[in-house]
Structure 1
């Protein structure tokens, strides 16, 4: 867990970034980029895609630092959420590009968003984001990988080096937590 002094330092750096302070941005990058890259790498499974997601996440942080407020959670959680969603967006975009040249008769792409994307686009997107933050990292990643990358339980088991039964439990319990949280 990040100590309070580190939280305060990250909040101060984000304040500097909100004022377009390049040195604050550089220090922020040096402090958190490794952890954020690790998340991007774990979700993407590809070094190049993770690098692109990390870069995009920091561009968003640069442009939206003024929108951060402590009621949105810790600064690290806020930045990790940006990295997570940017990675998942890039994964989905790549998936669409990969299938674009396929034979249209054999693979008709479903242009509708997935259930999680539809939920995020509704009025309760802030509530869902907050509820996702209540999940453990493995629950959240398992649910997001299954919805955004379309991983099966077996694929998740392999990707996370975890038994299938454990992956199923993470997803089931995570979805229960999300349901209870969203019903509040």
Structure 2
């Protein structure tokens, strides 16, 4: 492979890692609409993918992404880079918006569990979700310190919005074990983040 091909293959990842999310969020807080547009262009595609995995319906996923960017614009001044990476802040807002939509029973249509059970599970593994976090992120460092099964339980509960029972089923452990793992992992991460 020659140097040009290597450069071409590396470019998207380099561009994503070089983008300064925190700076763009701070500029949004100062009313810079161009910064919001840059955030959107940089992350909307990945955010749509995450929202689709949570909501399973494109129109709801698009709504979650749009709601997220409205919240980013309104709440940019509350962003604190000492508490985590800008990209992680964006995806936390997205996850919360998607889960709120998911919980809103008035939007549910007939997508019974039997229909979802037949769909292939193309969602990322808990390990790949952790890897998506910025390498310098305090959250990532704290999650990586956890025992793998406990970390997986916590990540499944918080990124996919799974109940304790669903986490237990996914990890093939008793319900009490899943509850204990999630609680202990949460406490460990909270302590590590402080």
- What TM-score, normalized to structure 1? 0.60
Match of 1:146 in 2: 162
Structure 2 contact 154–181 (Cα < 8 Å) conserved: no
Q: What RMSD over aligned residues (CA atoms) do the two structures have, in Å?
A: 3.9
Match of 1:63 in 2: 74
Q: CA deviation at 1:9?
A: 1.7
Structure 1 contact 142–171 (Cα < 8 Å) conserved: no
How many residues are matched? 142
Q: CA deviation at 1:180?
A: 3.7
1:34/1:83 Cα in 2 relative to 1: closer, same or farther (>3 Å)?
same
Q: CA deviation at 1:30?
A: 0.6
Give the distance between the partners of 2:106 and 2:166, measured in 1 at CA: 15
Structure 2 contact 54–99 (Cα < 8 Å) conserved: yes
Give the alignment partner of residue 34 of structure 1, picking from 45, 48, 62. 45
Match of 1:174 in 2: 182
Match of 1:111 in 2: none
Structure 1 contact 143–171 (Cα < 8 Å) conserved: no
Match of 1:74 in 2: 85
Q: CA deviation at 1:45?
A: 1.8
Structure 2 contact 28–73 (Cα < 8 Å) conserved: yes
Query: Secondary structure of 1:58's match?
Result: helix
Give the distance between the partners of 1:139 and 1:44, measured in 2 at CA: 20
Q: CA deviation at 1:133?
A: 9.8
- What TM-score, normalized to structure 2? 0.57
Structure 1 contact 135–174 (Cα < 8 Å) conserved: no
List gaps (5 residues or longer) in structure 1.
Answer: 100-129, 158-162
Query: Secondary structure of 1:146's match?
Result: coil
Query: Secondary structure of 2:61's match?
Result: helix
Q: CA deviation at 1:82?
A: 0.4
Give the distance between the partners of 1:17 and 1:9, measured in 2 at CA: 13
1:16/1:54 Cα in 2 relative to 1: closer, same or farther (>3 Å)?
same
